Amino acid sequence: DAGITQSPRHKVTETGTPVTLRCHQTENHRYMYWYRQDPGHGLRLIHYSYGVKDTDKGEVSDGYSVSRSKTEDFLLTLESATSSQTSVYFCAISEVPSGIGTQYFGPGTRLLVL
Amino acid sequence: EDKVVQSPLSLVVHEGDTVTLNCSYEVTNFRSLLWYKQEKKAPTFLFMLTSSGIEKKSGRLSSILDKKELFSILNITATQTGDSAVYLCASDTNAGKSTFGDGTTLTVKP
């Protein structure tokens, strides 16, 4: 398995609080992605990174921000959590841009916003 | 807006049956089509398809892409209970972004 960890694995928080999820990789891959997955749906891209300090928005980026200060870490922040952000969040990495090679996924973080 | 549609949304079969899962896409700057298997945890990679008409095969699973008609199929022969999972299809673009379908939930009964 690719060396990807996510923390925390489970989190319960209240509406209006900020939340930060961490993705850590030991593969030295350049590209990192944050997705959310809701029941009965596939994965939707939130943000992605193509290098240290280089990030871009995905299709559902509103209410989320990201930072990548080191190759190995990609942080996802919910600035003020809402119940609609209750979801499972997956981090993914790839050595080459998505579309040339496959992405490897982390174990996921289950987030419940009350 | 890029779109990927999978059908059927769910499927129940018995061990030994053969199944065909469908994936159609409308994507700007298409680069490749990927299939993943998800078993209550992170998706795992199955196939990446970039050329039309070339079948990719791995054991009982195979997949093919039709870039003219904009679809792909995933076949599973002689299904086993361990094949029960959600199968995700994703299209990747030259911009480096992936668009996923909603998945097909396959249940294989003994």
User: Scanning the structure block, which residue is given the tokens 């022969």?
Assistant: B77
Distance from CA of B96 to the nearest CA of A (A): 5
Q: How confident is the model at residue A54 (pLDDT cuts 50, 70, 90)?
A: very high
Do B31 and B68 meet the contact criterion of CB atoms below 8 Å apart? no
Q: How confident is the model at residue A21 (pLDDT cuts 50, 70, 90)?
A: very high
The pLDDT value recorded for residue B98 is: 83
Contact B34 A102 (CB under 8 A): yes
Using the predicted structure, report yes or no on whether residue B13 has a pLDDT greater than 80. yes
- Beta strands per DSSP E along B1-110: 3-7, 10-14, 19-26, 30-38, 44-49, 56-58, 61-66, 71-76, 85-93, 98-100, 104-109
Contact A98 B88 (CB under 8 A): no
Task: Give the 3-state secondary structure of B78-102.
Answer: CCCHHHCEEEEEEEEECCCCEEECC
Using the predicted structure, report yes or no on whether residue A40 has a pLDDT greater than 70. yes
Percentage of the residues of chain A whose pLDDT score is greater than 90: 81
Using the predicted structure, report yes or no on whether residue A82 has a pLDDT greater than 70. yes
Using the predicted structure, report yes or no on whether residue A113 has a pLDDT greater than 90. yes
Using the predicted structure, report yes or no on whether residue A105 has a pLDDT greater than 60. yes
Do B101 and B89 meet the contact criterion of CB atoms below 8 Å apart? yes
What is the SS3 assignment for A44? strand
Q: How confident is the model at residue A1 (pLDDT cuts 50, 70, 90)?
A: low
Contact A41 B31 (CB under 8 A): no
Q: What is the mean pLDDT of chain B?
A: 93
The pLDDT value recorded for residue B96 is: 67
Contact A101 B94 (CB under 8 A): no
Contacts of A97 in chain B (CB under 8 A): 96
For residues A39 and A86, give the distance between their C-alpha atoms in angstroms, rounded to a whole number: 10
Calculate mean pLDDT across residues A9-35.
95
Q: How confident is the model at residue A100 (pLDDT cuts 50, 70, 90)?
A: low
For residues B76 and B36, give the distance between their C-alpha atoms in angstroms, rounded to a whole number: 13
CA B42 to chain centre: 15
The two three-digit tokens of residue A1, written as one number: 């398995």
Percentage of the residues of chain B whose pLDDT score is greater than 70: 98
Using the predicted structure, report yes or no on whether residue B24 has a pLDDT greater than 80. yes
